[in-house]
Amino acid sequence: MTTIVRDTKETSIRVELRGAGHGIEVETGEPFLDHMLITLGRYAGLSLSVGARGDLRHHLVEDVGIAVGAAVAAYAPATGARYGERTIPMDEALVQVVVDIGGRPYYAGRLPSSLYDHWFRSFADNAKATVHVRVLRGRDRHHVVEAAFKALGLALRDALTDTGAVFSTKGAVTQIEEP
């Protein structure tokens, strides 16, 4: 199990992440964020527990993205498949998400919600993952954002699968911060 605790003057967040079979519990006080995190956990095949509170909606959503991203980075196996890609239809929306959890943070995308676009950027930076989001179609913001979370979940399911081999020409990369 991986646990991330993030406390600031603006937010207090606790994320627990582990393999499937332990359920999903989310309580942020922001119903749509709760729905997206439950969706992410279910589609990624992960047990996810998130408890969070914050002063402003923006701070809450951003910091939850940071904490969930950090949990994914800590949880990712060195011998994971590393890459994942999924395209998800949701009514009129069609969204593609491609991930590389190989330790190089980068986000490219544009969701029709600046708040949830920021969540994806915060997630990518702290998951140390490359995340590309392409909105191929969609008029309803709810459908587009939800399709993006579903696609991210399924892409992570693939990327986090332990293959027993390191998928890099560099081999296993070790980087230690010394005082």
Encode pLDDT of 135-155 as tens digits. Answer: 999 999 999 999 999 999 999
pLDDT: is 77 or 179 the higher one? 77
Enclosing domain of residue 9: 2-159
As given in the structure block, the two tokens for residue 175 are 């980087």
Whether 37 maps to a domain, the answer reads yes
Whether 174 maps to a domain, the answer reads no
Whether 140 maps to a domain, the answer reads yes
SS3 of residue 79 by DSSP? coil
Whether 171 maps to a domain, the answer reads no
Q: Which CATH number does the domain housing residue 61 bear?
A: 3.30.230.40
- pTM score, whole prediction: 0.93
- Domains: count for the chain: 1
Going from the C-alpha of 138 to that of each of 58, 92, 141, 144, 154, the distances in angstroms are 24, 5, 7, 6, 20
Q: Where are the beta strands (DSSP E) in 91-153?
A: 93-100, 106-108, 130-137
Whether 104 maps to a domain, the answer reads yes
Whether 45 maps to a domain, the answer reads yes
pLDDT class for 19, splitting at 50, 70, 90?
confident
pLDDT: is 162 or 109 the higher one? 109
Whether 176 maps to a domain, the answer reads no
Mean per-residue pLDDT, 58-64: 98
Is 64 within 8 Å of 33 (Cβ atoms)?
yes
d(CA 25, CA 170): 38
Per residue in 119-135, pLDDT (tens digit) is: 999 999 999 999 999 99
Whether 137 maps to a domain, the answer reads yes
- Find the angle CA(156)-CA(159)-CA(160) to the nearest 5 degrees: 85
